[in-house]
Structure 1
């Protein structure tokens, strides 16, 4: 029923728009690497991005070694079977030795308004989860709330629709996807957030679909506004093989899942070298009290998954080379303030202030040529239980082609 309603709604919406839609898209839209390659000519499509990072804790009385890491390198391979049917994949190498598939989906253009997608896709929530290439976010590391609230890079297997309603300056996405895993013999979720529940399309278990959708408005030059929503239940291995008449087994399986209802708002504005950006997330977790009791530790201590999570950040950046007509590179200082709480509320007991955190990140980026960057920043992070910020110096190389 939910799938049919989404399909019908999108067809009705596209039918209401009478103006002619062209294949050209406005310059003030944001595109990740997959979206850019989908628009390129030729059958075979090749691209890539990556980052090499240096992270050095500083300050304090205890000396700590820094970490140097080829954090990630991603090769994008795509193929156009026809003008309307294309395939996109991203193969990710992390820390030199780990290999993942970040995206692998088939897209078919139904008409100028509607494209069907199926496969492993990024969940359209917030900014960074979709736009996570090094030249699309400020700083060596991605914003911290995009690790803890929306767990970048969050992708699952699913199907749905995306497209552009150009006369209304709207981009939309609507998918039914696989959900987080909450139980596979032990708890997968806790007070640190949802990140460990990502299944990433790797032999994922499936017991109920989740809905993910986003609408973006780009009708004002330089401005992009987004609203995202995600809703559904987590997945559990306890549903596999359970007798439908076994009420005790069904009750145990029900206790091993939680409901996730997440929404987000984001805004980006760019004018004359000035860039302003911000986003806000809130996630409500239902059944968390029962889940925490069911997944208690061996000593009987309940798990600490919160009943809600939230977070936001605001960021400002300015390209100081913008006024220089003969300089074609970009030198951009920036500053970002982040605040997030992965245990914003709980159904029972008291919240743990150690999960209530804030961060200030300030740095400088030099984009020598389009898609080739050097980055440095200082990161200051503090929880509500700490009196001083934990400081880290970061430097890195970023590329996208």
Structure 2
């Protein structure tokens, strides 16, 4: 009896010591880590095991051979709901984040409007040190829910890795880096709405990697995948083509349920291919070339080829006369789409070739640069804040639908991941462009990662 009481006393004493140790670790306002909590739990479990006369807990006895995966802490026998791999183990392996953007739009000849444009949660999981999962789910206009991407990466080596799932097409640079908090204007470039219809994603698989052949910042990157392809034309003459002069390729994307196909389904028995090669000679500079090729019609008789080039360069800050100037970014992207059309496709009105481009300049600054030395405005509250003055020129030609846009904008980033944007668009259309192409617009938007 006394031995039992002594054992219980030791147990209580050890638990008190463990709890005191956890509390002490917070004395300096440092949060308790997952590893520290796990250590406390293991010590308490050891006390319980010793109280049981050295008997192993039932859960440990049921684990079987050494090295077998630990059983879920939620317990077995619950219909498989809790018997999941992510409920085993103690290491932090899944990460949740996302971004959102809201907009105010005042367009000529239209009532002003407010828009919850996007709420995009994303999930990244370390399944293994060489197996990663990543996914984004886009909620657009507060109601439309779509998978933006969801893929598995097998990390084999720096220059050679495998990716499979719903991938972002490496067609141009903007489609890969299109998140609203990254972009310095509210609306995406016209070429990336109509010729490369961002967000362009497909089910596919392929390889990606990075080469670092020399010392310094030089990097060579590539991505190459086999995919399902565009869905632009049915074999039913009663169906209108999904490719149009008004919307470009937007309705022909793989994730659209065109011509009775399911989302991300294929409309023919052919594969498509997409790939991009880029060179980054220095930090902040890049040149890329990419292409997408494959049949777009149900019979597989007509091919669609989209070729794109992109570039960006950053001029570092300089100080003429002691006044900081910059950094200044210059960037742009262009694309050309060759649409093959047989007699059937022409008869149904499939348009001819599309092309477009944009060029943009970003000038980063702080008001403090132009005030007496030592004056602090935004940096008093947000030390890493920055303003950006933006100018962008757009031109697209969708088989005679010619549209032009000049945008000037100013944005403020209190921190790098959060941005408030003000833009004004000067729009103009010629040829087969609709009247709405001439309507200018004023936009305000707020976007942030979380």
Q: TM-score range by the shorter chain?
A: 0.7 to 0.9
Pair 1:378 & 2:424 matched: yes
Query: Is the strand fraction higher in 1 or 2?
Result: 1
Alignment match, 2:137: 91
* C-alpha displacement of 1:84: 0.3
Root-mean-square deviation (CA, aligned residues, Å) is 2.1
Alignment of 1:2-401 (within 5 A): 42-58=92-108, 63-167=109-213, 169-184=219-234, 185=236, 186=239, 187-192=241-246, 193-200=248-255, 202-205=263-266, 206-236=268-298, 253=299, 258-270=302-314, 271-272=316-317, 273-287=327-341, 289-293=343-347, 295=348, 303-306=349-352, 308-321=353-366, 327-343=383-399, 352=400, 355-385=401-431, 389-401=438-450
Q: 1: CA distance between counterparts of 2:200 and 2:297?
A: 15
User: Alignment partner of 2:157: what SS?
Assistant: coil
Structure with more relative contact order (C-alpha pairs < 8 Å, separation 6 or more): 1
Q: 2: CA distance between counterparts of 1:167 and 1:329?
A: 36
* C-alpha displacement of 1:173: 0.2
The 3 A distance-change label for structure 1 pair 323 and 289 is farther
Q: 2: CA distance between counterparts of 1:208 and 1:304?
A: 20
Q: Structure 1, residues 237-274: CA drift from partner, whole Å, max 9, x if none?
A: xxxxxxxxxxxxxxxx35xx531111111111112210
Q: 2: CA distance between counterparts of 1:67 and 1:233?
A: 39
Q: 1: CA distance between counterparts of 2:189 and 2:269?
A: 32
* C-alpha displacement of 1:64: 2.3
Q: Structure 1, residues 293-348: CA drift from partner, whole Å, max 9, x if none?
A: 1x3xxxxxxx1511x111111100111129859542010010000111111xxxxx
* C-alpha displacement of 1:49: 1.2
- Give the total of aligned pairs: 320
Q: 2: CA distance between counterparts of 1:42 and 1:218?
A: 33
Alignment match, 2:48: none
Which sections of structure 1, spanning at least 5 residues, go unmatched?
A: 1-40, 237-252, 296-302, 344-351
Q: 2: CA distance between counterparts of 1:322 and 1:88?
A: 39
User: Alignment partner of 1:110: what SS?
Assistant: strand
Q: 1: CA distance between counterparts of 2:228 and 2:336?
A: 20
Q: 2: CA distance between counterparts of 1:304 and 1:274?
A: 42
Is the 8 Å Cα contact of residues 217 and 225 (structure 1) preserved in structure 2?
Answer: yes
Is the 8 Å Cα contact of residues 154 and 198 (structure 1) preserved in structure 2?
Answer: yes
* C-alpha displacement of 1:290: 3.2
Which sections of structure 2, spanning at least 5 residues, go unmatched?
A: 1-90, 257-262, 318-326, 370-375
TM-score, normalised via structure 1 length: 0.75
